[in-house]
Amino acid sequence: MADRCAAPGGRTPFSFGIDPKILAFVIVPLVAMTPLVTLFGIPLLWRAVGSMLGWYLRRKTDGRRSHLLELMEEDEKKYQKENEKKRRDSDDDEDEKEWEKLDVYTVGTSKNGDKADKDWDGIVGFFHPFCNAGGGGERVLWAAIRATQKRWPKAKCIVYTGDHDVTKDAILARVENRFNIHLHPPTINFLYLSTRHWVLASTWPHFTLAGQSIGSIIMAWDAFSLLVPDVFVDTMGYAFALGLSKFFFRDVPTGAYVHYPTISTDMLDSLDPKSAVGGQGVNAGKGAGTKGLVKKLYWQLFAKIYSWMGSSADVVMTNSTWTQGHIRRLWGPLRNNSLLGGRKSNPIAVVYPPVAVRELEHEIEVSEASESLREKGLLLYIAQFRPEKNHQLILQSFAEFVKTGTEAAKTARLVLVGSVRDGADSKRVYKLRLLVDELHIRDRVEFHLDASWPEILEWLRKASVGVNGMWNEHFGIGVVEYQAAGLISVVHDSGGPKLDIVVDVDGQPTGFHATTSTEFAQAFEKALSLPDTAAVRQRARQSAKRFTEEEFAKKWTAQMEKLVHLRAQDPPFPVGLPLLRVSLLPGMFR
């Protein structure tokens, strides 16, 4: 049999006339090198593809960049000329005075040379597709831009937004009206995204987390197709946009301000009805059965990809201790891995959101004398009408409290103040109104939608108790506003309100925590029956001083300086040459 298979000369029919020893000498090393080729070759090819796409986007947007800079320079000259005329006509131009001085708390401490001083004139791209929403996340965005403008007056701030039906002037006017934040118009501009619908939950009725993350990648491509910035900062929590930025532009420093993790271990645990948090959140107890098991496996896989993408950020800020803890567990191990581009020198920092504490102190008196101005039984809940804010729990708790018939309950009423973003929110408010009727508390509950800042101030001035019902509220700007206004807070026993805000001062309480409707009802009774409410209100205001706009600006500037310094260390690629900067280190982002 062997003789029939052999070819003349003893060679096998598969050796093609090559000596087997020589053939083995070639094949064995090739097979041995396969793991190395896979380990190094594929990542190098992957990074080369990213660099080529990044070069293409830079070349495509270079003309728009030059044109935009010219327009902003012209706006600056026009603005200065107009204010020069105003100065000649009047000495009381407050807006101009505001921008002539550089606040002490935004001066910064950088010693990195010319590129990190006041004269840095690069472009900072803020990725915030819902910049006109008017919520706490938007306050962070505008306060961050204001601090950036103060620290680097020549820098250009570009906001990538999907609010294409609103003009720049209208957006800035709303910022001033809603947040009382005054920005410098010439050095801020907006680039309008046409793909925002891809991140709406309604676009992805199934596999929403993955769908919205894919949508954020589409949106980020849209943003980079409009302009490639010198520094890219995500202020909405789109980790996949950060990953895409690093894939395309390794020389562009990226920063993340994380309000809450897209997915967390608490979310995973909430799927299990037997876990400690199995009854919390909008997905409570949904991990049972085959369908639940699939959901749990899907969430676990998503958490790994989310962590990989988010860990690419050079600078990471979180809005609370709770968020920091989760981001450390998710992103921390990868950020500290040098093979994956870890930035050990930039630890994940807590930068508390800016709250109008100083303004509230100025506008609202908190003293024994001001007690007579408050409506003792008035409970106030300021929150956007989103499902996670759990307005249902507060309504049910309030109904339970009213049924007790105590002296405090007899005169109690609940006011719900919040913004409505779209039709889904409007429908949610309608259902809440129906629930109020079912609970027979219609004459005790009021709804006030899209209230202006002056209206919110008036409610804070009149109310006695501030309420928050969200489980694992990542921070709770509204709760800080309660405290700054002297309200006694009754909040969910979790997240930022528990760990950072409603804490003891000098060993004495500033408010109450609750979880169930019964616990909230009992807390309402305690808050409205305190013997010395003025002392509690003053402690609450003292606690709120940790969250001023000045403190935010100081900490934001310190983190931005790191990004500016990184940009100075790694200048941008020349647009005219398709440079491929690849290293021998495996991994996607380095």
Per-residue b or e along 237-264, where b marks 16 or more CB atoms closer than 10 Å to that residue's CB: bbbbbbbbbbbbbbbbbbbbbbbbbbbb
274-298 average pLDDT score: 67
Question: Which backbone phi and psi does 449 adopt, to 5 degrees?
Answer: -100, 140
Residues 235, 237, 241, 246: is their CA dihedral positive or negative?
positive
pLDDT tens across 165-209, in order?
999 999 999 999 888 899 999 999 999 999 999 999 899 998 899
Amino acid at 528: L
pLDDT digits (tens, 9 = 90+) for 411-425: 999 999 998 888 889
Sequence-separated contacts (24+) of 95-101 with Cβ below 8 Å: 95/182, 98/182, 99/184
The pLDDT tens digits for 523-565 are 999 999 999 999 999 999 999 999 999 999 999 999 999 999 9
Calpha distance 262→302 (Å, rounded): 10
State the Cα–Cα distance between residues 328 and 297, nearest whole angstrom.
22
**pLDDT value for 283:** 59
CA 507 and chain centroid, separation: 32
- Asked whether residue 489 carries a pLDDT value surpassing 80, the answer given is yes
Confidence band, pLDDT 50/70/90 cuts, at residue 449:
very high
Asked if 55 and 578 touch (Cβ cutoff 8 Å), the reply is: yes
Fold of 122-260+300-354+549-569: Rossmann fold (3.40.50)
Residue, of 220 and 419, whose pLDDT is higher:
220
What does the alpha-carbon distance between residue 232 and residue 251 come to, in Å, rounded to a whole number? Answer: 11
Q: What is the mean pLDDT of the chain?
A: 84
Q: What's the CATH number of domain 365-547, 3.40.50.2000, 3.50.50.60, 3.30.70.660, 3.40.190.10?
A: 3.40.50.2000
Q: What CA–CA distance (Å, rounded) separates 187 from 68?
A: 10
Q: How does residue 577 score in pLDDT terms, banded at 50, 70 and 90?
A: very low
Amino acid at 93: D
User: What local confidence, expressed as pLDDT, does residue 115 receive?
Assistant: 47
Question: Does pLDDT of 70 surpass 70?
Answer: yes
Delimiting residues of CATH 3.40.50.2000 domain(s) in the chain: 122-260+300-354+549-569, 365-547
Comparing 22 with 35, which gets the higher pLDDT?
35
Residue 16, pLDDT > 80, answer no
DSSP class of residue 40 equals I
At residue 568 the predicted structure's pLDDT band, cuts being 50, 70 and 90, is confident
Beginning with the edge strand found earlier in the chain, give each strand of the sheet holding 315-318 in spatial order.
188-192, 156-161, 123-127, 231-234, 254-258, 315-318, 349-350
Contact in structure between 557 and 440 (CB atoms under 8 Å)? no
List phi, psi (to 5°) of 418: -170, 165
pLDDT on residue 452: 87
Q: How many residues does the chain have?
A: 590
Give residue 369's pLDDT: 87
Q: Each residue of 73-124: pLDDT tens digit?
A: 999 999 998 888 777 776 544 444 444 444 444 555 555 444 456 689 999 9
Is the CB of residue 380 less than 8 Å from the CB of residue 487? yes
Q: How many CB atoms lie within 10 A of CB 124?
A: 28
- The confidence score (pLDDT) of residue 270 equals 73
